[in-house]
Amino acid sequence: MEKKTVLSGIQPSGILTLGNYVGALRNWSLLQQDDRFCYYCVANLHAITVKQDAEALNRRTLEAAALLLACGIDPKRSALFIQSHVKEHTELAWVLNCGTYIGELNRMTQFKDKSQRHADNINAGLFTYPVLMAADILLYQASYIPVGKDQKQHVELARDIAIRFNKNYGDAFIVPEPIIPKLGGKIMSLTDPTKKMSKSDPNPNSYIAITDEPSVILKKFKRAVTDSEGIIAYDPERPGVTNLLSIYCTFTGKTPEEAVAEFAGQGYGKLKTAVADAVIAELEPIQNEYKRLLDEKTYLKSVLDDGAAQARSTARKTVDDVLRRVGLDATVM
């Protein structure tokens, strides 16, 4: 059986939230199926497009890897690796940079956002970040790229880069497709449910971190902003309750109708506690496993070494082929 390849990456920049869990980590683990092989990387090269403290970056990179394992990434079905351990990423990125137009990069909405937020550090890496991401994807001949909605534009650029390269140099790359979760993108802030839940929100009550203690999770849900109407309904006019209901459905597998029926006529307190319970039931075992793995240094190192070796062997084949097609192998005959 010819297996299709899945690839995704996560940046090790700070706290990972319930939004990251539902939108990314949880799906990554579900995508590990018999007819696929997955490559999952901790995208630390991407992280330095904004200022990082070296020690903290190293620590968070390894923590992100441990968290991925705790969320169910299985080293037998997936290559789990650190992006900077596989030099082919930067090597291919250069070639792809020369096949990407400034006009295309100028259209990237994330670049526009980030250059506003980091106005004192609009570096060239921030600008060419989507090309590095295209290299991540194309190196492994990945067909499916699970990402949040915010990354869709980057995957589309990777497709355009692949199509153009294939046209100019012959079929070197599989043209990838994004896989966007229907529910995941929709987890909203608990303090302002009209905004997306975000780890960069200065108010920690606005988000649930994957590593928040159960008592903290309960407290944050209890404080979640709702409204004064006391009506349990999916209603865009009542974003707070709607957000709680949709988190509840995501974590229990119930349909919106079932959830509404279950809490109809009850106060928001019941719903809040039930949401917290459902989230804790899923996150607590992950948190325990995460803590255990952080102490299993030898195991973690062996998983990451194996993952990088496996990634490298696939990536090398692609880069060698690309160099040959472009006329960069320069072998003396």
Using CB under 6 A, list all residues that contact ligand TRP: 7-11, 43, 46, 133, 136-137, 145, 147, 151
Is 114 labeled as catalytic in the residue annotation?
Answer: yes
Helices (H) and strands (E) in the chain, counts: 14, 5
Residues 6 or more apart whose CB falls under 8 angstroms from that of 197 comprise: 17, 18, 19, 187, 188, 189, 190, 206, 207, 208
CB of 133 to ligand TRP, least distance (A): 4
Closer residue to ligand TRP in complex, CB, 10/304: 10
Quick one: tokens of 133? 């991401």
Closer residue to ligand TRP in complex, CB, 1/124: 124
Instruction: Name the β-bridge partners of 39.
Output: 7, 79
Q: Is 82 helix (H, G, I), strand (E, B) or coil?
A: strand
CB of 296 to ligand TRP, least distance (A): 26
* CA neighbor of 200 nearest in space, from 118, 295, 320: 118
Active-site annotation holder among 199, 222, 254, 317: 199
Active-site annotation holder among 186, 196, 220, 272: 196
Instruction: Return the amino acid letter for 272.
Output: K
Closer residue to ligand TRP in complex, CB, 25/241: 25
CB of 137 to ligand TRP, least distance (A): 5
Q: Is 3 helix (H, G, I), strand (E, B) or coil?
A: coil
Is 317 labeled as catalytic in the residue annotation?
Answer: no
Is 199 labeled as catalytic in the residue annotation?
Answer: yes
Closer residue to ligand TRP in complex, CB, 6/224: 6
CB of 43 to ligand TRP, least distance (A): 4
Measured between alpha carbons, how far is 173 from 2 in angstroms, rounded to an integer?
16
Active-site annotation holder among 114, 186, 220, 272: 114
Catalytic residues, by residue number, are 114, 196, 199
